[in-house]
């Protein structure tokens, strides 16, 4: 398992094969500068791995883009595999943090679903490296994501929030009972993922221009699809109203 810590100046545990590997000694920056350096490294790594994949990415390029030394990257994260794992984890961290900032608990259930849909679609569009990182990891058959120790914990916050939204919807008579929150999120992510990840081929084949107007319309339509799926079946609603 790959375990990450938030302690500045202490290298995270990454995997067994890097243990015992001698790295050049590095003078650590102050805590504030170290946090800034780590952020720059992760941002650079996300770009590098999303553009060139795991095999084509170079630690030298990450260091150059981040404005840090290569030994500093090794000291903070470990080797290339460990840096890739940290970047992949960061991709999930960022989307989960964005979802948390939506304050969905303050919305009525239907609006909460619509806001989650809109955020997901626009996150995929505004941060294309997220889709690229997922594509790379799936080409690798999920070999790294399975080794990140807290990956399930990272996703739990979102699933618990969707579960709460569904429960509120059921209580208010807006949604059906017995719907799996994981399945709901998979539907939302799938509907948002496909057009963004295939925008070039869709543009060439169908003449679709994924601009702001298209995104607004698509966000509304996906929200409507999901909400209609969640609503009680008409025949059951009629029976209960008699």
pLDDT tens, per residue, the chain with 242 residues: 666 654 333 333 334 444 444 444 444 455 558 899 999 999 999 999 999 999 999 999 999 999 999 999 999 999 999 999 999 999 999 999 999 999 999 999 999 999 999 999 999 999 999 999 999 999 999 999 999 999 999 999 999 999 999 999 999 999 999 999 999 999 999 999 999 999 999 999 999 998 999 999 999 999 999 999 999 988 655 555 55
Q: Note the pLDDT of residue 242.
A: 55
* Angle between helices 212-230 and 181-197 in degrees, nearest 10: 160
- What integer pLDDT is reported at residue 94 of this predicted model? 94
46-79, pLDDT tens digit by residue? 999 999 999 999 999 999 999 999 999 999 999 9
Q: Contact at 8 Å (CB) between 203 and 209?
A: yes
pLDDT of residue 7: 35
- Taking alpha carbons only, the member of 48, 84, 50, 87 closest to residue 64 is 48
For the whole model, what pTM was predicted?
Answer: 0.82
The rounded distance, in Å, linking the Cα atoms of 69 and 72 is: 5
Closest CA to 188 of 139, 121, 89, 96: 121
Q: Where are the domains of the chain?
A: 16-241
- pLDDT for 14 equals 39
Q: What pLDDT is attached to residue 33? A: 85
201 in Cβ contact with 126 (< 8 Å): no
CATH of domain 16-241: 1.10.357.10
């Amino acid at each position: 398992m790959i375990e990450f810590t938030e302690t500045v100046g202490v290298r995270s545990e990454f995997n067994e094969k890097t243990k015992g590997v001698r790295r050049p000694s590095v003078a650590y920056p102050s805590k504030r500068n170290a946090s800034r350096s780590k952020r720059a490294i992760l941002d650079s790594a996300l770009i590098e791995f999303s553009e060139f994949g795991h095999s084509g990415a170079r630690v030298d390029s990450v260091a150059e883009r981040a404005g840090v030394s290569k030994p500093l990257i090794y000291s903070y994260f470990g080797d290339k595999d460990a840096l890739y794992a940290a970047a992949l984890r960061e991709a999930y961290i960022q989307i989960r943090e964005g979802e948390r900032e939506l304050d969905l608990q303050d919305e009525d259930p239907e609006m909460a679903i619509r806001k989650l849909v809109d955020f997901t679609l626009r996150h995929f569009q505004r941060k294309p490296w997220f889709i690229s990182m997922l594509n790379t990891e799936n080409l690798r058959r999920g070999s790294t994501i399975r080794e990140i120790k807290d990956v399930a914990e990272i996703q739990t916050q979102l699933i618990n929030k969707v579960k709460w939204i569904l429960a509120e919807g059921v209580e208010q008579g807006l949604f059906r009972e017995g719907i799996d929150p994981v399945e709901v999120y998979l539907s939302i992510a799938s509907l948002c993922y496909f057009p963004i990840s295939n925008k070039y081929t869709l543009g060439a084949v169908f003449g679709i221009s994924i601009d702001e107007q298209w995104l607004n319309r698509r966000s509304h339509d996906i929200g409507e699809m999901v909400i209609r799926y969640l609503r009680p079946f008409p025949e059951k609603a009629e029976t209960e109203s008699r």
